[in-house]
Structure 1
Amino acid sequence: MKEDSLVIHEIYSSIQGESTFAGLPCTFVRLTGCNLRCAWCDTTQAFYGGKRMPRSEVREKALAFGTPLVELTGGEPLLQPGAIPLLQELCDAGRTVLVETSGEADISRVDPRVHKIMDLKAPGSGETHRNRWSNLTHITPRDEIKFVLSDRVDYEWMRSVIHERELAQLGCTLLASAVWGKLSPKDLVAWVLEDALLVRVQVQLHKVIWGADTQGV
């Protein structure tokens, strides 16, 4: 069965680089494959290749690192049917579980104990038309919505979406992230303060520590 195995790019431990969990020790399970091609993507190496592994082996390898926090990422992890039961099993093992997802994949079947970190793709990504707006009905206060912004146009799009979709009423954390090397975080902060926009500005902590091109950290 497809659910019994997953194609894995890498499994490793590091610190969480983004979200409200930034800075905490975390085990990352990076799945291979993505059906989007965002202009600013920094994990294109995970589009192809990888190794097919039994789900039980993936689970045990992830748990063996001993971190209380585990994240499924990609690529797009929810493209693989085995991701859904794996998320459940990691929760059953007592871990705090995160999933990073593009906003295009259906999140309705994700275990409610999982913290969903879901993108909404701004115009600069080239993939705005792929946003699955129905996913918003499955976002809870434990979840986070992330906007990756490359310029002022992206920022203004985010601001409009927050107001028009009434995202504040969802009770979740709204993350605003500047594309590394393209949008100055200082500019983003200035715009957020000027508009009194209730978002959490974040930087990619792993890139600050290890550099933008270092993988597996």
Structure 2
Amino acid sequence: MNDVMKTTCRVNEIFYSVQGESTWAGERCVFVRLTGCHLRCHYCDTEYAFREGTAMTIEEIAAEVDRIGNGCDLVEVTGGEPLLQKSAATLMKVLCDQGKTVMVETSGACDISVCDSRVIRIMDLKSPGSGEVDRNDWANIAKLSQQDEVKFVLCDRADYEWARDVIAEHQLDQKVKAVLISAAGEMAGTNEIKGVAGLDPKVLTEWVLEDGLNVRMQVQMHKVIWDPMLRGV
């Protein structure tokens, strides 16, 4: 176990906040944001995680989670794309072994089967409007369980219809705990991110109601509470 605890991950930030999305929204949570992402979604709001980070041992990460968490046992490993780092799977297993409830926020572009069976996988399937739809690994669908959640961030009507068809084709609402759907916020372009005009959540909600879609509408709660550009929340 000592050798495992000396395994390193490249960490962008570790912070204590409330869960802003998923069925766990509103719960206290410690976030471990890992460095690196191979996708460049047009609406990405964590570009700073592409390269910024420091190597930390799993022992150091676990200690920091305990130090800042004020007794909180809910932990989310996120990114960037956390599953790009092979050591992320080891980190999550150690946190589970320590009695934490562990979630991972991951794209649909990485193999989710590397996660310990106790880890709650929140898989973000990339829509056409993200610019990364071709990166989805559709083999992941068969690997989902009833404790997992699937997330769609949608940019326009075409994205909505695409998501609606994917949900129906794969019966996603029957495979997982919840199918999450949200509207992309307006995002300015940068050297690496194309940016998006954004989608009105009210309009998206009306489409969902009209179709009777079996999904959970969500907004990013942390961006309502705090400045949307603030880190560490």
Please tell me whether the aligned partners of residues 173 and 215 of structure 2 are also in contact (alpha carbons under 8 angstroms): no
Query: Cα RMSD over matched residues?
Result: 1.4
1:134-213 correspondence to structure 2 within 5 Å: 134-181=139-186, 182-213=198-229
Match of 1:88 among 93, 112, 122: 93
* Distance in 1 between residues matched to 2:100 and 2:44, nearest whole Å: 28
Aligned residue number for residue 36 of structure 1? 39
CA distance in 1 between partners of 2:211 and 2:104 (Å): 30
TM-score, with structure 2 as normaliser: 0.90
The superposition leaves residues 99-130 of structure 1 with CA deviations (integer Å, 9 ceiling, x where unpaired) of 00011011112111111000110000000000
Residue identity matched to 1:62: V
Are 1:139 and 1:172, in contact at CA under 8 Å, matched by a contact in 2? no
Q: Which residue of 2 aligns with 1:23?
A: 26
Q: Distance in 1 between matches of 2:178 and 2:132?
A: 22
Length-normalised TM-score, structure 1: 0.97
- Where 1:87 maps in the other structure, the secondary structure is helix
CA distance in 2, matches of 1:105, 1:52: 22
Q: Which 4+ residue blocks in structure 1 deviate beyond 6 angstroms?
A: none
2: CA distance, partners of 1:205 / 1:58: 25
Q: Which runs of 5+ in 2 are unaligned?
A: 187-197
> How many equivalent residue pairs?
217
| Long gaps (5+) in structure 1 | none
CA distance in 1, matches of 2:184, 2:226: 17
Offset of residue 165 of structure 1: 1.7
**How far is the alpha carbon of 1:140 from its aligned partner?**
0.5
Q: How much has 1:211 moved relative to structure 2?
A: 2.2
